[in-house]
Amino acid sequence: MRLMEKLYMLKEAKELLGVTTRTIQRWDNDGKIRVVRTVYGRRRIPESEIKRILGLKEESCLWICEGGATSIKRW
């Protein structure tokens, strides 16, 4: 994880990935996704994990649009 990487709340991550909250929780428990926990134990998903699951390159920008995520390449 990069220093000061954007962290997504579970609600945001599930919308971007098109999965349920329970799926992300299961992935975390199974070690399939890396999460960061807040001091209160809430899950936050790093942007790099969202990109990894979506198959995006690290140089890509992630745009949140209605109905899902899209990306563009940085030049």
Q: What is the DSSP string of 9-33?
A: EHHHHHHHHT--HHHHHHHHHHTSS
In this prediction, residue 74 carries a pLDDT of 42
Q: Select the more confidently predicted residue: 61 or 4.
A: 4
pTM: 0.72
Q: Where are the domains of the chain?
A: 7-73
The answer on pLDDT for 56 being more than 90 is no
Indicate the class that CATH gives domain 7-73: mainly alpha
User: Which residues, other chains included, contact 27 with Cβ-Cβ below 8 Å and sequence gap of 6+?
Assistant: 33
Q: How many CB atoms lie within 10 A of CB 48?
A: 15
The answer on pLDDT for 61 being more than 90 is no
